[in-house]
Chain A
């Protein structure tokens, strides 16, 4: 199974400041079709997960442009350019390149 490792696991951030979450996979996430199926999901308290980014860097419909994804191969990053109060929650990276699909442990973003 592909192991997904996120850092940090907790990120206290001052509103208006940037935040960055790293996700590393135990093997390359490049699929045989040439795509890399690495997604970022946000889960606000008490709510279901919500897709933010798919295939490394594609922002999903309705996601604010302060969220961006980057990376390649085994190293990926989610950046929030200016954290807002509504960004509080847990962020997960997830790979759907190879079954079983696997998640990172989650990174809790909270406001200082």
Chain B
């Protein structure tokens, strides 16, 4: 079964760091670009960032709201993509989703992991 599973969410204090993982199974992660999205409670979807696959240089793009604080990386040998989140703010509180991206298609999607930034 083609699947993505996010992990690493939780309660964290403002200013602290957290690393989310997105583990793939049932497909070859290295064939896909990967993207992270988030959804604040009761709000719409927001794009967070994107990492190309190695064939396209493995480079990254970020939303302005997280640039300089968040870093996306990937370990294709482990079939895992990461979202390193530093200097967390209360406005980063959201459900975080990872998804694969290939030829205009966003699939699969993970079930999400909840990040709560609060003192």
Interface, chain A (partner B; CB < 8 A) = 35, 37, 39, 41, 43, 48-51, 54-55, 58, 60, 90, 92, 94, 96, 99-106
**Interchain CA distance A96-B35 in the complex, whole Å:** 11
Instruction: Type the 1/0 row for B77-118, where 1 means its CB is closer than 8 Å to any CB of A.
Output: 000000000000000000001000100111101111000000
| Also in contact, A103 and B44, with CB within 8 A (given A48-B97, A48-B110) | yes
**Interchain CA distance A49-B97 in the complex, whole Å:** 9
Contacts of A50 in B (CB 8 A): 109
**Interchain CA distance A105-B63 in the complex, whole Å:** 17
Chain A minimum-CB-distance residue to B61: A99
Selected contact of A48 from candidates B46, B47, B104, B109, CB within 8 Å: B109
| Also in contact, A100 and B63, with CB within 8 A (given A48-B97, A92-B45) | yes
Q: Which of B35, B45, B112 has the most CB of A within 10 A?
A: B45
* A54 and B106 within 8 A (CB): yes
Contacts of B112 in A (CB 8 A): 48
Q: Which of B47, B111, B112 has the most CB of A within 10 A?
A: B47
Selected contact of B104 from candidates A54, A99, A100, CB within 8 Å: A54
| Also in contact, A103 and B106, with CB within 8 A (given A48-B111, A48-B112) | no
**Interchain CA distance A37-B103 in the complex, whole Å:** 9
